[in-house]
Amino acid sequence: MPKALVLAGTRSGCGKTSVALGLMRALARRGLRVQPFKAGPDFIDPGLHAAAAGRDSHNLDTWMMPPDALRSCFARAAAGADVVLVEGVMGLFDGRGGGRTGDDEEGSTAHLAKLLGLPVALVLDASSQARSAAAVALGFASFDPQLPLAGVLLNRIASPRHETLLRQALATLAPLADVPLLGCLPRAEGLGLASRHLGLVTADDITELDARLEALADWVEQGVDVPALLSALPELDAARLAPPAAEQVASGKRCGTVRIGLARDRAFCFTYAENLRLLEQAGAEIVPFSPLADAALPDGLHGLYLPGGYPELAASALAANTTMLASVRAFCDSGQPVWAECGGFMYLQRALVDAEGREHALCGVLPGRAVMRARRAALGYRQAQTLAPGPLGPAGTTLRGHEFHYSELEQPHADNAAFTLTASDGNTTRDGAATHNVIGGYFHAHLSSNPDAARAFVEACASGARGRRPLDPRQRA
């Protein structure tokens, strides 16, 4: 049975991603099969995990995913691994929040660890602290008695003297006797990964990524006795890896194989692995293509899935690829189903205005302009309900997911919204556009929240343009 550990943090920015990547690579280069996971809805960290561990990383989110679907995803991916490492999200106890109640743990790393029965190591930024770090560790250790900590990893240690003070402080607190100090990681300026407006830079955009991961592994080995840590971890209960008794699947027969084009390159890289699995389970063959590099869509497609990413950072190149823009326009006009999320939704617009105010002509399938703003436009979990029948199912189809973007849509008319979005605080907004065969918006859906939507999309693709009304090009104002 594999061993497992959750790497959580006291807060965002404490260094848990660097620790997670370094530990994944340190274990992988020992020849161990390391299965990474990411708590929460983040798209960027899983790509970095895959580069560090050599295996695809999967998101585990206790609000977006029903418990059975989450356990099923975990069991499938963890089977056959030697070590399972889960990187947490935000602080250990921070979850859905958003103004609901202060005692809501949905979406938190702690909630996930308890649901899966996994031990937790706490990454604590000890910079500018000595004895106070022990008080912070004590608070986290005692906050939730149902979640015992496996230990503490102190990060950003300034000097050998600083490390001595911290070790003494933790050793003198009797209540921490059962929370061992797992390691002391030295301050390493320049070792961390660069950030941009949606979080860390993606794996595709980091130069010499492998060398950076090797340096992170060396740094972890410098401050942590990795063999001792691995030896101390418990093995997963076999029941955690058993086939789920009630995995959520869509009802009815599986569709015949249909080809769904998936935009995938450095501009469109925000895709949940579980979404693709559910589409494949419903009968889809996923056919990747690059809106940046390819001249046209692949042949023989029955549908398009345009996920999110960073189109604003590649707007000039996207606009310059006029043959691909024409190919996407023609596909949308054909009446075949098209599903676009966030960056993909921006790509379908008439134009994108980047952060410097430059306007780039894009597909023109939809009449709006996506305009980048200096401040974040939206962030948080969303429950979506479709406003009209379409490729994702009948009107009223409900999905869970999240929204995170810095652009805002300027459009000449807004009478064809795709979704009503309900935020964690109960506020509702309208999002996106639904026009016959095309549905899209800023909303990122996790299909495990409603697998019937995956089947509906594949069925719509299988039925083709027959009986469907294609997008009217005259609506491109």
Going from N- to C-terminal start, the domains of the chain cover 3-241, 258-475
- The reply to whether the predicted model has a pTM over 0.85 is yes
> What is residue 464's predicted lDDT score, i.e. its pLDDT?
73
Comparing 224-238, 326-340, 394-408, 461-475, which segment has the lowest mean pLDDT? 461-475
Distance CA 300, CA 310 (A): 27
pLDDT at 465 over 50: no
The answer on pLDDT for 101 being more than 70 is no
| Tens-place pLDDT, residues 316-365 | 999 999 999 999 999 999 999 999 999 999 999 999 999 999 999 999 99
State how far Cα 140 lies from the chain centre.
Answer: 26
- Domains 3-241 and 258-475 equal at CATH topology level: yes
Dihedral sign of CA atoms 438, 444, 449, 454 in order: positive
Which pLDDT belongs to residue 403?
Answer: 94
Model confidence pLDDT, tens digit, residues 299-330:
999 999 999 999 999 999 999 999 999 999 99
Model pLDDT, residue 247: 52
Q: Which residue would you say has higher pLDDT here, 42 or 190?
A: 42
Given a contact cutoff of 8 angstroms between Cβ atoms, the answer to whether 72 and 89 are in contact is no
**401, 461 Cβ separation under 8 angstroms:** no
Q: Which pLDDT does position 252 carry in this prediction?
A: 45
Q: For domain 258-475, is the CATH number 3.40.710.10?
A: no
Does 199 have pLDDT greater than 70?
A: no
Burial class (CB in 10 A: 0-12, 13-18, 19+), 382: buried
Q: Which of 14, 184, 342, 363 is labelled catalytic?
A: 342
Q: What CATH homologous superfamily does 3-241 map to?
A: P-loop containing nucleotide triphosphate hydrolases (3.40.50.300)
- Statement: residue 469 has pLDDT above 60: no
Secondary structure of the chain in the HEC alphabet? CCEEEEEEECCCCCCHHHHHHHHHHHHHCCCCCEEEEEECCCCHHHHHHHHHHCCCCEEECCCCCCHHHHHHHHHHHHCCCCEEEEECCCCCCCCCCCCCCCCCCCCCHHHHHHHHCCCEEEEEECCCCCHHHHHHHHHHHHHCCCCCEEEEEEEEECCHHHHHHHHHHHHCCHHHCCCCEEEEEECCCCCCCCEECCEECCHHHCCCHHHHHHHHHHHHHHHECHHHHHHHCCECCHHHHCCCCCCCCCCCCCCCCEEEEEECECCECECCHHHHHHHHHCCEEEEEECCCCCCCCCCCCCEEEECECCHHHHHHHHHHCHHHHHHHHHHHHCCCCEEEECHHHHHCCCEEECCCCCEEECCCCCCCEEEECCCCCEEEEEEEEECCCECCECCCCEEEEEEEECEEEECCCCCCCCEEEEECCCCEEEECEEECCEEEECCEEEHHHCHHHHHHHHHHHHHCCCCCCCCCHHHCC
Residue 206's nearest CA partner among 66, 71, 45, 79 is 45
**Active-site residue flag, 461:** no
Backbone angles phi, psi at 263, to 5 degrees: -65, 120
How far apart, in whole angstroms, are the C-alpha atoms of residue 407 and residue 477?
A: 20
**Mean pLDDT in the chain?**
90
Residue 185: count of CB within 10 angstroms of its CB: 25
Under 8 Å between Cβ of 399 and 392: yes
> What is the rounded distance in angstroms from the CA atom of residue 59 to the CA atom of residue 73?
9
Residue 124, CB half-sphere, CA atoms under 13 Å: how many?
29
